A and B are shown apart, each in its own frame.
Chain A
């Protein structure tokens, strides 16, 4: 069975600093996708970044990068130069190849302070 684990219920970071949100996963599939979503208090899930299991390079999207360590089954999100607007809930998720089902972790609440 697939499982996503986020061990940090909450994180604090000062504005303009970098922060790493942890995510580990468990799967027996050879091909899968890893995702990070941001959920502000308004409730909408915002797609941030995607990493395919066969991608050799870590994914980057602007201030977001995914530190993918396949052997350790980890897919940590790094947010550089944090902004006050980054305060939100962050979910790590996984999907099997050839299916569309997303399995989410329990999330990490990030608070950015001035």
Chain B
């Protein structure tokens, strides 16, 4: 029944070692988002895809990249993680009704 799936739920990586987080959806939604949520803070949008069109937020660091090979999958790549990148990363999707934004359970990233 899971609609937005994120793997892994917990990820530990070393400082500077590239890491990829994945998100998949069974809703066939055309929009997918990646949010970063640091401890005790609000989620912050990093970027989103409208179909294959990539939309980067102006203040998203270049260290963060994304790929969407098909409708169902979207990846977040952190090329050289720093200690400040430790956070919960939330994937979300939406369809024609933009207010129906469905979130996955998140991936908690630890950088050592």
Contact = CB atoms under 8 A, between A and B. Distances in A.
Interface of A: 33, 35, 37, 42-47, 50, 91, 95, 99-102, 104-107
B16 to A, nearest CB: 26
Query: Which 4 A-B pairs give the minimum distances between C-beta atoms?
Result: A104-B42, A45-B103, A43-B106, A44-B105
Contacts of B42: 91, 104-107
A79 B20 CA distance: 38
Interface in B80-112: 88, 90, 92, 94, 98-106, 108
Interface string B30-45: 0101000000011111
Given A100-B31, A102-B45, A104-B42, A45 B99 contact: no
Nearest to A42: B105
* Residue of A33, A45, A95, A106 with most chain B CB atoms under a 10 A cut-off: A45
A5 B106 CA distance: 24
A109 to B, nearest CB: 9
B98 A100 contact: yes
A100 B43 contact: no
A47 B106 contact: no
A107 B103 CA distance: 17
B48 interface: yes
A50 B99 contact: yes
Given A43-B105, A45-B43, A102-B101, 12 more contacts: A37-B103, A43-B88, A45-B90, A45-B92, A47-B100, A100-B31, A100-B33, A100-B48, A100-B94, A102-B43, A104-B44, A106-B41
Contacts of A42: 105
A44 B104 contact: yes
A43 B43 CA distance: 11
A75 B98 CA distance: 19
Nearest to B57: A101
B7 to A, nearest CB: 14
Contacts of B48: 100-101
